[in-house]
Structure 1
């Protein structure tokens, strides 16, 4: 840890934050590729897999606003992020000692909770840092997707080479790597006397209650529905594809291709992100998701899945970046983490419904359950459209 702290001053705040983002999604990347298959090997049913994926979301939901509020009141958002990363690095070690449903459920929940709770704080802190310095949030966040993508692909090959036994040590090692990288993080808040970019354009809301308006909540609710359908993809895609006869060393690169598309969108965001309003970009993501999930429901061949995975940059990254910018544009820095956490509560709440419901639908419907995901995305698009009718974007 001392080596990391000594190296940190030689790097810019953006470079140090990028290094942490790169490690932040590595463990989830490995889990997306192999957790459902590993759980099946432990005798866990599809319904129980849905519960194991959903319960951590419920727990995170209960803590998100509290963690966001504490982070906003702290001297700097960094403190909460480092503590969360440390806990999320230590708890997964217990996976070596559990092999049945209740034990796995408990450990997986405790391992997922701290990382998930500080995620909105990290996004909000990084967004404020980049707005102040005139740098690009999308480029920094893209490195998180690259770390995710790397272990989507690599985990499939490691499992083929060494067998399923490699999953737990790999996941634990990546969680500990993320904990160590947290010590690189800079201070995020602006000095009291420094005027930030966010302060130049007066935001609408300084308190959470000022956000409780339909035109503000609807687009966040709408994309939260679409986000929930992507969480389904994380929880069940590898299992469904394996049932279709696709090998693990193909499944890993397929998932990684989606992450590559996401990263590419984030890298190019700065070139076009300001040409349309945040809500118009969210609407494009929702409509594209309707088409993607409808096609996934037809159990297409691998070459079609390749094309569908390449749309991930539009269906997920475009909507995600649109939401982060939408929140930052209309809120003040004093409530940055809390307002981002409010969105995450919507996001995670709908993900719980989606994942548990999908866990029940998969045994009966198989891949056809993706038609339900398409319906979710269609409703989400309607919510964003209504918001645009109620309140014009700022640039209008």
Structure 2
């Protein structure tokens, strides 16, 4: 029998296609396509339905709070009953169905209620999908988690581009329909991915699993470093485009700058990140991400020269994707299987969600007060991560 062609990672392409890799690409692709379609235009949809800017902010903030509570609960349920895939499928189906509730909503209280229920449903989708992907990649050995996550990032971009076309052709309601369909497609895709094999270890009841993880110095440091370095991207996500427009940079150039950062993210997830992590320890990866974060935000604080910005944007894959990959490896290596889903949802909630929510909420105040100088604050956050990074190794105090 002829052997399959080999991928860049040395895995036969035939083996790759026969494994669960295509199923996980479909799972993560539909998830991030749904996010890419919905997230940029949801605030505008609320405005079209009569909400004031202040009410839109309250609705979005309430959704964030709902996710912060619902995520760890869903992770605990998935671990408690050894049912990660089932919980994921139910949550994705619920997210799809609830999405259509926005279409019937008018007025602040109705849309607030729909938003909170929808946020509850989507809270654990990414963490649970990551938990399944990581375990399958480790078990099968034929693909890397980064390959799947990179496909998700590409799907997010494709979804955002498609949403822009939909809004132009059919209005804002079309993106609600499209994102709902993609969440339902994710629910269907969840059936095709393998469940985590039944474990022999006893499940952890109550809040014991969360307390066990949060009591571990390594896990707490992981959350802290992620919150500082990945959280520091919040100001960039919200105000980089505003800063560049105020500096006279045209929309075409801005699109290229933004695309460069997304492209670097995909390249690191799929190619560079797995290669680097085979040569760097999690400590070294975190130090590299934090150091480049300091450099990146220093550039943003001091110049709007397009060539310099272009180089700076290309570091996004290392300031975000590399650290995220390193954290996924650490969680896989150090967290017991019976707490995998709980660990992922705690990481998504406290390592990413809380920091991003707080920093996004204060970004406007910082930018209004300091302008481009607000990026010095983001650089300072990355500086704070440097002394914490050496603790990202098993056995470190």
- TM-score, length-scaled by structure 1: 0.79
Aligned to 1:380: 385
Partners of 1:158 and 1:166 within 8 A in 2:
yes
Aligned to 2:216: 213
User: Structure 1 residue 174: deviation in Å?
Assistant: 2.8
Cα RMSD for the two superposed structures = 3.4
User: Structure 1 residue 75: deviation in Å?
Assistant: 4.5
Aligned to 2:354: 349
User: Structure 1 residue 214: deviation in Å?
Assistant: 2.5
2:390, 2:159 → 1: CA distance?
A: 36
Does residue 170 of structure 1 match 2:178? no
| Cα pair distance change 1:229/1:43, threshold 3 Å | farther
Aligned to 2:281: 277
Q: Which runs of structure 2 are paired with 1:259-270 in the superposition (5 Å)? A: 259-268=262-271, 269-270=273-274
User: Structure 1 residue 286: deviation in Å?
Assistant: 1.8
| Cα pair distance change 1:72/1:158, threshold 3 Å | same
User: Structure 1 residue 167: deviation in Å?
Assistant: 4.1
1:240, 1:34 → 2: CA distance?
A: 21
User: Structure 1 residue 21: deviation in Å?
Assistant: 0.7
What SS does structure 2 have at the residue aligned with 1:228?
A: coil
Partners of 1:68 and 1:121 within 8 A in 2:
yes
- Further displaced range: 48-57 or 378-387: 48-57
- TM-score, length-scaled by structure 2: 0.79
Does residue 77 of structure 1 match 2:80? no
Aligned residues: 368
Aligned to 2:13: none
What SS does structure 1 have at the residue aligned with 2:83?
A: coil
- Further displaced range: 348-357 or 251-260: 251-260
Aligned to 2:375: 370
Aligned to 1:257: 260
Structure 2 gaps of 5+ residues are: 1-16, 202-207
What SS does structure 2 have at the residue aligned with 1:382?
A: coil
Partners of 2:66 and 2:119 within 8 A in 1:
no
Q: Which runs of structure 2 are paired with 1:109-188 in the superposition (5 Å)? A: 109-134=116-141, 135-155=143-163, 162=168, 166-185=171-190, 186-188=193-195
Given candidates 56, 67, 71, the residue that maps to 2:63 is 56
User: Structure 1 residue 365: deviation in Å?
Assistant: 3.3
| Cα pair distance change 1:295/1:80, threshold 3 Å | same
| Cα pair distance change 1:209/1:108, threshold 3 Å | closer
Partners of 2:37 and 2:160 within 8 A in 1:
yes
Structure 1 gaps of 5+ residues are: 1-9, 196-205
| Cα pair distance change 1:318/1:84, threshold 3 Å | same
Does residue 295 of structure 1 match 2:299? yes
What does the per-residue CA deviation read over 1:227-255, in whole Å, with 9 as the maximum and x for residues that have no partner? 22224444444455455555656555543
What does the per-residue CA deviation read over 1:23-67, in whole Å, with 9 as the maximum and x for residues that have no partner? 21123324565566777887855x777655543332211122211
The structure whose residues are more often helix, as a share, is 1
- Further displaced range: 20-29 or 127-136: 20-29
What SS does structure 2 have at the residue aligned with 1:391?
A: coil
Aligned to 2:8: none
